[in-house]
């Protein structure tokens, strides 16, 4: 407690004692005045007018004055309790509140309430004078005993109890309406009250409003919460904001055995990156050979954008280049100090270490946990912050408090793993590929006739496709060998390609501009709806990375699964394709001088199922023929016949 508070507290208590004594003296003063008046006797009545009686005129005028005095007594008494009971800090709070009516009433009261001692002297002096005058009038109208009884009843009932009960319940409403009257009375009594008020100000000092400690504020907020002015979440947040500075690090830290860490020898391959992604943390400590007691660096997940999983870079090499600094704190440090450290840009995670005493050696530091900015914010809010990557609500409840919400399907990450081999797609891959095709490519949204394509039909077709793992033969330069080619510029193709992992090099334009087609890139999608030989790519595509995983779809698979062409329609299309090729061959023969009769079907083949040695659809047909899939089996037979 400050020195001035220690001095002012007893003085304020003395002031309140004087106020209470004045309220107790007022009825007694009326009694003294009433008993002190001489009784009207026959002798007095026989005397001439010598000033022994107090008369204001006719009796009815006296009664009117008594009524006015009773009202003034009630006004002074009620305002003494109502206005002086209003705290200046409380009035400022109301003035800054969101209730416009209360704000206006508080704005009217504050000017006179700031002069608290002057207001006190005015109201008390006016109250005592009015009560004395009332006692004199009642004693003059009645006998001494009757005047005492009447004055006591009237003053206590109408001058004390009722006014104070009303003003204590509605101080703002009554006080704001009587401000003009109070100002007039203060001005009238100023010659008498100003010296008294000045003396009180000098002795007692300035009036101090009510100031609450943190504990008192918490109790006040709980009262507001109980009365419905604050909800539970607001109450917890306000209480946490008042308490967190005194909380210790050990109360909110995560124990070291529950901390997700990486070993310095861990390789940053696809498996590790997937594990880090699935953990949901943005910062991962890296420990050395001695385990979690030796933290040698901090790995920021966002820095992993510079990592190629195929390089399998060791963590220790990575943190030497992009390692982030970290701080140490002790379990007994306060959260307020740690928050200041975080706000100054010294990271959002700190290692908590403690001293371990040893008898046979020097004391050593051991890591006991970690603390993050999120831990401090959660302690302030009084609740857990659950983001879209959290797996458990709290480390202490991980056995029973799993988050009830839709989790991210981590199986979809396998689509980006370039180490996967040939084989049918998994269920997650089928769903992902189906959604990608149906949402982004019109060929899988509606037929050429304008009919909507069902997503289930696309899913069934995709589930029958084989994921190919293509290995680069060349060095990925602009002059690749034929086996690395998927598409040749100017050469007809009837196959669509969807890259799942790895990259294809795409060369297009007159200048041979090269670009890379990464995961989820689709090439040759227009070939699915073109007539045989109708789709001529204006680009060349070949394998750019060491491994490429992709799926390839022929126009015949698409026609049977999506357009739902019958076996006869497919056979008819194949015959038309055969005749078209023969006609094209005859035209070429006539231009080159070769006899048309010497042409055979094999000589007219342009390898519609093969681009650069990659025979994906034909291989698929053979596999699916063995699996008994009728549509692809028919396709393989027809191609053999052709």
pLDDT at residue 9 in the model: 42
Q: What's the pLDDT band for 385 if we cut at 50, 70, 90?
A: confident
Alpha carbon distance 69, 75 (integer Å): 10
**What residues does each domain of the chain span?**
3-41+53-204, 214-246, 249-397, 413-564, 569-641
Unique residue bearing structure tokens 């698979």: 557
pLDDT of residue 102 exceeding 70: yes
Report which DSSP code applies to 292: E
d(CA 441, CA 492): 21
Distance, in Å, from the CA atom of 345 to the CA atom of 305, rounded to the nearest integer, reads: 23
pLDDT bracket for residue 228 (50, 70, 90): confident
CA 356 – CA 354 distance, rounded (Å): 6
Alpha helix ranges (H) inside 264-401: 270-279, 315-322, 335-343, 373-381
Please tell me the predicted confidence (pLDDT) of residue 33: 39
**Exposed/middle/buried for 247, CB within 10 Å: 0-12, 13-18, 19+?**
middle
- How confident is the model at residue 573, as a pLDDT? 60
Cβ atoms of 91 and 110 within 8 Å: the answer is yes
Is 118:199 a contact under the CB 8 Å cutoff?
A: no
The pLDDT of residue 417: 58
Q: Per residue in 30-52, pLDDT tens?
A: 443 343 334 343 334 444 444 44
Tell me the pLDDT band of 387, cut-offs 50, 70 and 90.
low
pLDDT for residue 2 is more than 50 = no
The answer to whether the Cα torsion of 126, 128, 131, 136 is positive or negative is: negative
Share above pLDDT 90 across residues of the chain, in percent, rounded to a whole number: 16
Q: What average pLDDT is seen over the chain?
A: 76
- Segment 252-269, tens digit of pLDDT: 999 999 999 999 999 988
Are both 249-397 and 413-564 of the same fold? no
174-178, 252-256, 389-393, 621-625: range with lowest mean pLDDT: 621-625
> Do 116 and 15 touch, CB atoms closer than 8 A?
no
Q: In angstroms, rounded to a whole number, what is the distance separating the alpha carbons of residues 80 and 23?
A: 10
The pLDDT value given to residue 410: 52
Nearest to 265 by CA among 281, 286, 292, 285: 286
- Residue 46 CA to residue 382 CA, distance in Å, equals 87
Report residue 407's pLDDT band, with 50, 70 and 90 as the boundaries: low
- Which pLDDT tens digit goes with each residue over 284-309? 999 988 888 889 989 998 888 888 88
- The distance of Cα 146 from the centroid of its chain, to the nearest Å, equals 74
Portion of the chain with pLDDT greater than 70, in percent = 73
Q: At 65, is the pLDDT very low, low, confident or very high (cuts 50, 70, 90)?
A: confident
Query: What is d(CA 334, CA 79) in angstroms, rounded to the nearest whole number?
Result: 48
pLDDT at residue 390, as a whole number? 54
Select the CATH number that applies to the domain covering 413-564 from these four: 3.40.50.2020, 3.40.50.720, 3.40.50.1820, 2.60.120.10.
Answer: 2.60.120.10
Cα 208 from Cα 210, distance rounded (Å): 7
Query: How do 327-329 and 349-356 pair as beta strands?
Result: parallel
The pLDDT tens digits for 511-560 are 888 898 988 899 999 888 887 778 899 999 999 888 888 999 888 888 87
> 452, 460 in Cβ contact below 8 A?
no
Instruction: Decide: helix, strand or coil at residue 515.
Output: strand
∠ Cα 156 159 165 (to 5°): 90
- Name the token pair of 554: 């022929």
pLDDT at residue 310 greater than cutoff 70: yes
140, 131 Cβ separation under 8 angstroms: no
CA 395 from centre of chain: 20
Tokens for 287? 């420990």
Q: Is the model's pLDDT at 605 over the cut of 50?
A: no
Q: What angle do CA 353, 357, 362 make, to 5 degrees?
A: 100
Residue 618: which pLDDT band, with cuts at 50, 70 and 90? very low
**pLDDT-based confidence at residue 180 (cuts at 50, 70, 90):** very high
Instruction: Give the separation between CA 576 and CA 584, rounded to whole angstroms.
Output: 12
> pLDDT-derived band of residue 563, with 50, 70 and 90 as boundaries?
low
Distance separating alpha carbons of residues 329 and 375, to the nearest angstrom: 14
Sole residue written with tokens 């979809």: 412
Q: How do residues 462-518 score in pLDDT, each as one tens digit?
A: 888 888 888 888 877 777 888 889 999 989 888 999 998 888 999 998 888 889 898
In tens, the pLDDT along 118-173 reads 999 999 999 899 888 887 887 777 766 777 787 788 888 888 898 888 888 888 89
Mean pLDDT of 592-607: 46
Rounded to 5 degrees, what are φ and ψ at 503?
-140, 145
Give the helix/strand (H/E) hosting 288: strand 283-288
CA distance 74 to 156: 9
| Cα separation, 642 vs 639, whole angstroms | 5
What is the DSSP annotation of 422-466? SEEPPHHHHHHHHHHHHHH-GGGTB-TTSPBPPHHHHHHHHHT-E
Phi-psi group of 628: left, alpha or beta (phi > 0 → left; psi -120 to 50 → alpha; rest → beta): left
* Beta bridge pairs of residue 291: 288
Bridge partner list, 94: none
Tell me how far apart the alpha carbons of residues 424 and 414 are, in angstroms, rounded to a whole number: 13
Selected residue with higher pLDDT from 341 and 450: 341
Confirm if 175 and 109 have CB atoms less than 8 A apart: yes
Q: What is the CATH number of domain 249-397?
A: 3.10.580.10
Q: State the Cα–Cα distance between residues 115 and 614, nearest whole angstrom.
A: 97
Residues in the chain: 642
Mean pLDDT over residues 202-221, rounded? 82
């Amino acid at each position: 407690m400050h020195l001035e508070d220690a001095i002012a507290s007893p003085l304020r208590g003395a002031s309140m004692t004087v106020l209470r004594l004045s309220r107790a003296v007022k009825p007694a003063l009326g009694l003294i005045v009433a008993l002190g008046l001489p009784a009207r006797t026959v002798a007095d009545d026989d005397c001439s007018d010598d000033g022994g009686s107090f008369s204001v005129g006719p009796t009815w005028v006296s009664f009117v004055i008594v009524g006015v005095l009773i009202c003034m007594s009630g006004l002074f008494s009620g305002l003494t309790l109502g206005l002086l009971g209003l705290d200046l800090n409380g009035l400022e709070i109301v003035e800054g509140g969101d209730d416009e009516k209360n704000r206006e009433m508080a704005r009217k009261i504050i000017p006179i309430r700031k002069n608290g001692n002057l207001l006190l002297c005015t109201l008390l002096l006016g109250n005592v004078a009015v009560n004395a005058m009332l006692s004199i009038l009642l004693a003059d109208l009645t006998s001494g005993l009757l005047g005492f009884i009447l004055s006591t009843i009237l003053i206590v009932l109408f001058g004390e109890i009722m006014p104070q009960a009303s003003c204590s319940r509605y101080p703002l409403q009554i006080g704001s309406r009587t401000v003009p009257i109070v100002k007039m009375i203060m001005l009238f009594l100023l010659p008498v009250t100003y010296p008294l008020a000045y003396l009180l100000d000098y002795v007692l000092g300035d009036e101090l409003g009510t100031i609450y400690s943190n504990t008192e504020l918490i109790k006040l907020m709980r009262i507001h919460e109980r009365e419905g002015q604050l909800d539970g979440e607001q109450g917890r947040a306000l209480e946490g904001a008042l308490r967190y500075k005194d909380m210790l690090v050990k109360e909110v830290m995560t124990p070291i055995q529950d901390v997700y860490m990486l070993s310095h020898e861990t390789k940053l391959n696809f498996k590790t990156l997937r594990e880090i992604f699935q953990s949901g943390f943005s910062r991962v400590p890296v420990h050395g050979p001695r385990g979690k007691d030796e933290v040698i660096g901090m790995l920021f997940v966002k820095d992993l954008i510079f990592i190629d999983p195929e390089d399998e870079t060791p963590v220790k090499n990575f943190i030497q280049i992009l390692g982030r600094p970290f701080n140490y704190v002790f379990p007994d440090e306060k959260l307020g100090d740690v928050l200041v450290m975080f706000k100054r840009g010294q990271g959002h995670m700190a290692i908590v270490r403690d001293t371990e005493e040893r008898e046979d050696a020097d004391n050593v530091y051991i890591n006991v946990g970690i603390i993050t900015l999120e831990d401090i914010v959660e302690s302030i809010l009084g609740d857990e912050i659950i983001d879209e990557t959290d797996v458990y609500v709290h480390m202490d409840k991980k056995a029973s408090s799993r988050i009830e919400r839709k989790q991210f399907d981590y199986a979809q990450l396998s689509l980006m793993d370039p180490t996967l081999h040939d084989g049918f797609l998994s269920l997650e891959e089928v769903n992902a590929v189906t959604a990608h095709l149906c949402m982004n490519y019109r060929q899988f949204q509606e037929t050429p006739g304008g009919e909507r394509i069902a997503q289930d039909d696309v899913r069934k077709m995709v589930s029958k496709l084989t994921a190919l793992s293509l290995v680069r033969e060349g060095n990925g330069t602009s002059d690749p060998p034929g086996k690395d080619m998927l598409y040749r510029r100017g050469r007809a193709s009837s196959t669509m390609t969807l890259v799942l992992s790895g990259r294809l090099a795409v060369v297009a334009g007159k200048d041979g501009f090269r670009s890379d087609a990464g995961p989820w890139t689709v090439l040759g999608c227009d070939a699915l709806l073109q007539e045989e030989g109708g789709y001529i790519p204006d680009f060349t595509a070949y394998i750019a990375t060491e491994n490429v995983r992709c799926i390839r779809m022929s126009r015949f698979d698409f026609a049977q699964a999506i357009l739902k062409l019958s076996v006869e329609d497919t056979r008819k299309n194949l015959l038309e394709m055969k005749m078209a090729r023969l006609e094209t061959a005859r035209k070429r023969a006539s231009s080159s001088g070769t006899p048309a009769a010497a042409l055979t079907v094999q000589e007219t083949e342009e390898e519609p199922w093969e681009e650069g040695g990659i025979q994906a659809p034909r291989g698929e047909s053979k596999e699916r023929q063995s699996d008994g899939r009728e549509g692809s089996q028919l396709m393989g037979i027809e191609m053999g016949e052709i």
